[in-house]
Amino acid sequence: GLDNFNDYYDPSLKRARQALLERSGIFIVEGDINDVALLKKLFEVVAFTHVMHLAAQAGVRYAMENPSSYVHSNIAGLVSVLEVCKSANPQPAIVWASSSSVYGLNTKVPFSEKDRTDQPASLYAATKKAGEEIAHTYNHIYGLSLTGLRFFTVYGPWGRPDMAYFFFTRDILKGKSIPIFEAANHGTVARDFTYIDDIVKGCLGALDTAEKSTGSGGKKKGPAQLRVFNLGNTSPVPVSDLVSILERLLKVKAKRSIMKLPRNGDVQFTHANISSAQRELGYKPTTDLQTGLKKFVRWYLSYYGSGKKSAQ
């Protein structure tokens, strides 16, 4: 594994994940994907057959505060990874994280991989869309085998504290009011919440079915695999329902404050058509939101306690 342990959110959570991984025999290198010398060194030490590239600056709203961090991680960082992969011998197959945010302002649902993705609603979405175009280029020129995965609102234990389900849990326990967005004309804001274990199965399915890259020494020998898949749960849930489930699990009434959806990159709804991933990857999500949140809350309470030790 490779991580730069930046402080976009509490690094101690990242360190705790690292300890968990290392107990399972997974070694984590501390470093940055933009450090090309380091990446080259890693490839000299191990002839990697597959690269799972999940590093990115995440979050839709933070892009308005720190746009350059998105360009640095999601565009320059992806190019750094692909540059090292294309020069490696043998070239690895690459599976990487795109995002459901590439569907942007699309109104036709459910979102299908064949839909246009040229109307991003946030800089984050634009960098992920740019990543898909960059992947196309490296596949075309260098014969790199590339599979992009469009994740739909991933949640669960050990997740990101900047995600709504996570900070809702924290704030409900603290008795703080939580913002629930609604679209124009009291429209419902809904998300296709996908439980982490289901996403992991999709990632493994993508690795297992990835074909070998066709280039060597940075030269393409023949056409290589280029794929993109939605990994979602196919049942969008209104955010207000998410809050109701959390209230039941935490046995605390939430203080809801209904607010207009701001124009900061959030879209009204996401809904995945996953027939392609089902067919090609054997992807079949099995965890509904109720079950997944129950597992998350159990983890949250054991990790942070009942809100006394707070999640920053």
Spatial distance between the Cα atoms of 55 and 50, rounded to a whole number of angstroms = 15
Is the CATH number 3.40.50.720 carried by domain 32-305? yes
11-37, pLDDT tens digit by residue?
999 999 999 999 999 999 999 999 999
Q: How far is CA 172 from CA 158, 238, 290, in A?
A: 18, 18, 17
pLDDT digits (tens, 9 = 90+) for 189-220: 999 999 999 999 999 999 999 999 999 888 99
Residue 309 has pLDDT above 70, yes or no: no
Cα distance between residue 90 and residue 64, in whole Å: 40
Among 81, 86, 92, which residue's Cα sits nearest to residue 48?
Answer: 92
Quick one: pLDDT at residue 218? 86
Residues of the chain with pLDDT > 70, as a percent, come to 97
pTM, to two decimals: 0.95
Tokens describing residue 286: 């099995």
For the stretch 237-250, pLDDT in tens is 999 999 999 999 99
**Cβ proximity of 46 and 252 under 8 Å:** no
Catalytic residues: 124
